[in-house]
């Protein structure tokens, strides 16, 4: 089982021919909704990869919250650890998706996500101590994230932190991370090294390991991922695809990567599996609707190894 401590958001998506400049109004396509949130996306991805997944987080008592929980349960995610917080709106994210490139701009209204406390996480500690891996991000309170990483470390469970969206982190938290998985922007700001190519990604990863993270993977979008791990160090390239929508690509990578780690795969193989899953996800619109099945990922890997 893999337990995810994190956010659940309803995504409100508008496709646009270009991103607006400040003060400008432009026309986009009709509004679409899709279940998202970095934590929920990662739990959904784990379940789609065939691993038992458990979600810990908060939603409001509104229609968005019920829809998000139903969507996770339909994928096989255990949602008993998700609190329905009266008086709070469920988290939402407004997402603009560029028609030509699939790149996105996102504004998140955290809502109930910000009410998740360290006490809430400790109340669900058995779901962390019994897990093969614990995944957390930074869309809930930092105290909740720290609690999740601390419980995982004390129980000897594999701890994975996706430091997104960016927030300054102290070395004590990084030292609780078995795997730290930032994208190039987050790695740049955490390491103080501008990531613009593989060489600078390697320098940033090394700096973050020196701060205490045991293993660091810097995701680089269409350029794959740089791995700086105890067992292997090097570049894992992305699979070439025509991107439609990059929403949840990183979350898909993390869920798939964590699944293969939990199954005993070496870090390089797990990263390749994650890249394959993310490659399929970017060819489809939406967050959770874009996440592929295990069979689709394995089919892509077979096609590229033939």
Q: Could you write out the DSSP letters of every residue in 19-88?
A: PPPTT-----PPPEEEEE-HHHHHHHHHHHTT--EEEEEEEESSHHHHHHHHHHHHHTEEEEEEEEETT-
Answer whether residue 197 is part of any domain.
yes
Q: Is the sign of the CA dihedral 105, 168, 81, 83 positive or negative?
A: negative
Check residue 246 and give its pLDDT.
86
DSSP 124: T
Assess if residue 89 is contained within a domain. yes
**Residue 25 located in a structural domain:** no
DSSP three-state, residue 131? coil
Do the strands 215-219 and 179-180 form a parallel or antiparallel pair, or are they unpaired? parallel
pLDDT category at 102 given cuts 50, 70, 90 is: confident
pLDDT of 215 strictly over 90: yes
Q: Over the stretch 103-161, which tens digit does the pLDDT of each residue have?
A: 888 888 999 999 999 999 999 999 999 999 999 999 999 999 999 999 999 999 999 99
Per-residue model confidence (pLDDT) at position 86: 94
pLDDT in tens, 71-90: 999 999 999 999 999 999 99
Tell me the pLDDT tens digit for each residue of 150-204: 999 999 999 999 999 999 999 999 999 999 999 999 999 999 999 999 999 999 9
pLDDT tens per residue, range 191-200: 999 999 999 9
Domain with 69, as residue range(s), is 2-20+30-305
**Residue 99's pLDDT is what?**
87
Q: What's the sign of the alpha-carbon dihedral 158, 293, 299, 217? A: negative
Q: What is the pLDDT of residue 286?
A: 83
pLDDT digits (tens, 9 = 90+) for 37-58: 999 999 999 999 999 999 999 9
Determine the pLDDT at residue 305: 84
Active-site positions read 251
* Count of structural domains, the chain: 1
Mean pLDDT of the chain: 96
Q: What is residue 130's predicted lDDT score, i.e. its pLDDT?
A: 97
Residue by residue, DSSP assigns 88-115 as: -PPEEEEEEEETTT--EEEEEE-GGGGG
> What average pLDDT score do residues 205-222 get?
97
Q: Could you report the per-residue pLDDT of 7-17, keeping only the tens digit for each?
A: 999 999 999 99
Is residue 96 domain-resident? Answer: yes
Q: What is the CATH number of the domain that holds 220?
A: 3.40.1190.20
In the predicted structure, residue 306 carries a pLDDT above the cut 80: no
For β-strands 158-161 and 91-98, DSSP reports them as unpaired
């Amino acid at each position: 089982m893999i337990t995810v401590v994190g956010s659940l958001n309803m995504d409100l998506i508008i496709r646009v021919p270009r991103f607006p400049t400040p003060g400008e109004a432009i026309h986009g396509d009709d509004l679409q909704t899709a279940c998202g949130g970095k934590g929920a996306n990662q739990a959904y991805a784990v379940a789609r990869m065939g691993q038992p997944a458990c979600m810990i987080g908060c939603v409001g008592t509104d229609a968005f919250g019920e829809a998000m929980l139903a969507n996770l349960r339909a994928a096989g995610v255990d949602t008993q650890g998700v609190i329905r917080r009266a008086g709070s709106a469920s988290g939402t994210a407004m997402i603009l998706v560029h028609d030509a490139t699939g790149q996105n701009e996102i504004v998140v209204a955290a809502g109930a996500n910000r009410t998740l406390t360290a006490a809430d996480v400790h109340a669900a500690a058995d779901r962390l101590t019994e897990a093969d891996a614990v995944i957390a991000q930074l869309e809930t309170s930092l105290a909740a994230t720290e609690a999740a990483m601390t419980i995982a470390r004390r129980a000897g469970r594999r701890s994975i932190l996706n430091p997104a969206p960016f927030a300054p982190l102290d070395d004590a938290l990084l030292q609780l991370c078995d795997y730290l998985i930032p994208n190039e922007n987050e790695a740049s700001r955490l390491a103080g090294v501008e990531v613009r190519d593989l060489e600078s990604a390697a320098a940033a990863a090394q700096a973050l390991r020196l701060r205490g993270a045991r293993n660091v993977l810097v995701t680089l979008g269409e350029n794959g991922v740089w791995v700086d791990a105890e067992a292997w160090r090097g570049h894992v390239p992305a699979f070439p695809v025509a991107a439609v929508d990059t929403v949840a690509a990183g979350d898909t990578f993390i869920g798939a990567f964590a699944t293969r780690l939990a199954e005993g795969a070496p870090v390089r193989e797990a990263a390749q599996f994650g890249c394959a899953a993310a490659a399929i996800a970017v060819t489809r619109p939406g967050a959770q609707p874009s996440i592929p099945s295990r069979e689709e990922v394995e089919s892509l890997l077979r096609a590229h190894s033939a």
